[in-house]
Amino acid sequence: MGKENSAEKALNLIRGRLCDPTSVFRPLSGSSDSNFSKLKFIVSTSITEGCNNSILLLGPRGSGKAAVLDLVVGDLMEEYPDSVTLIRLNGLLHSEDNCAFKEIARQLCMEHHLLFSKMASFDENSQFIIAMLRECGLAHKTIIFVLDEFDMFAQASDLLLYSLLDAMQSVTSQAVVVGISSRLDADQLLEKRVRSRFSHRKILFLPPSREEIDSLLEHLLSLPADSSFPSGYVSQFNEKIKNITSDTRFKDMLKTFLNANSTVNSLLKFIFRAVSSMNLESGLLSLENFKTALSSMQRQPKLEAVRDCSILELYVLVCMRRLEVKEQSSYNFISVMKEYKTIHDSFQTSDYYAQNVCLRAFEHLREREVICYAENRGQSQAVEYRPMKLLISASELHQGMRSHACCPAILLKLLDH
């Protein structure tokens, strides 16, 4: 019972670490030429010297841009407790100007303990913001604007960006605008007048190297040797982790996984899944956990969809594929039914069903997005006459049918001819 309790506690601890991005990226940001230090240097100089600045963080999704920024901001809040205000905006939520200004005003009010009125109009909000910028500048307080999903702000409309960057040009304001985007060409999306006011500083977030990943794994998966865990258990657990990570099979698994998706976030998901399947009775991780996690991360949805089809649906798919092979560029349900009938006539299969049954099988396939309408315009036609197309390739169909539980051999033969 005690063993299970400590296993559960260990599990909770590791899961908590994996779900919290800042704790993941702190060890990666140790060295002096990392992105963390560069960013920190830029922002802290603008705070201490009282100047304005703008910067873009670019990198693929899940490489830790927001996490590193949070670390930097957290550090700066400690070092300069009263001179930093943080305003966060997200392109998914606040790309409209009204929403954006309202949100900025609301956050400013919360910071400075003012009353925020939801009924304030757009003009009132923008005047308030400009006034606050001036006041904070005069009081030597820096406002840091964090714009997540920067490309959505750039695409939607430039009013917000222009007013922010324009206000920063005046002498009295002290603001730093940090944009975060997963599009590497985010600054090309800006309009000319906004781009001219934007300092083209960019920090690129690249996938971590092998050594960084190894050290990250060790940091994430090792238990701390403090008193909340029985000491024998901790050393046993850490020993097992070392064995696993130095195993060549594990290294190969990791390499295959990182070949497909090399961001830190996906690695975290992989480890999360492996850790969640930890055997709570023994309380130790094993290589099996990582293997099952890998297979469940590498799903092939279209293959699964074909494997889930009933035999009649497989017939429909094979007929469509045969029509494609015969170079019929477009086909609809009626032509598929003709092909179905010819197959039945020539091979005397036992699976010949009425048209309405086949139509329903057709609809099932369409709902599962294995086939779809070839064009969207043909709304005025009945379902049977609208041209359709396959959404899976021939090899996927082949593979799916071969791994199907009870696919009749004749279908495989028909597919090959």
- Considering only residues 164 to 203 of the shown chain, the ones binding other proteins according to CB under 8 A are 182-183
Q: Smallest distance from the beta carbon of 221 to other proteins, in angstroms? A: 16
Q: What is the identity of the amino acid at 280? A: L
351 in contact with other proteins (CB under 8 A) = yes
325 in contact with other proteins (CB under 8 A) = no
99 in contact with other proteins (CB under 8 A) = yes
Torsion sign, CA atoms 245, 250, 252, 257: negative
Q: Smallest distance from the beta carbon of 179 to other proteins, in angstroms? A: 14
Q: H helices of 64-121, where?
A: 65-79, 97-111
Identified binder of other proteins from the candidate list 171, 301, 395, 409, rule CB under 8 A: 301
Tokens standing for residue 54: 């703008």
- Positions in 137-166 near other proteins (CB under 8 A): 149, 151-152
Nearest CB to other proteins, comparing residues 46 and 335: 335
- Positions in 257-276 near other proteins (CB under 8 A): 265, 269, 272-273, 276
Identified binder of other proteins from the candidate list 27, 363, 393, 402, rule CB under 8 A: 363
Q: Is 394 helix (H, G, I), strand (E, B) or coil?
A: helix
Query: Exposure of 377 by Cβ count < 10 A (0-12 exposed, 13-18 middle, 19+ buried)?
Result: exposed
* Window of 133-141, 208-216, 228-236, 334-342 that interacts with other proteins by CB under 8 A: 334-342
Q: Which residue has the tokens 């396959």?
A: 390
* Window of 7-15, 51-59, 125-133, 339-347 that interacts with other proteins by CB under 8 A: 7-15
Q: Is 374 helix (H, G, I), strand (E, B) or coil?
A: coil
- Positions in 59-78 near other proteins (CB under 8 A): 61-62, 66
Rounded alpha-carbon distances, angstroms, from residue 87 to 49, 50, 64, 142, 145:
20, 18, 19, 11, 5
- Positions in 365-404 near other proteins (CB under 8 A): 367-369, 380-385, 387
Q: Smallest distance from the beta carbon of 7 to other proteins, in angstroms? A: 9
311 in contact with other proteins (CB under 8 A) = yes
The CA distance from 202 to 134, in Å, is 27
Q: CB 110: neighbour CB atoms within 10 A?
A: 11
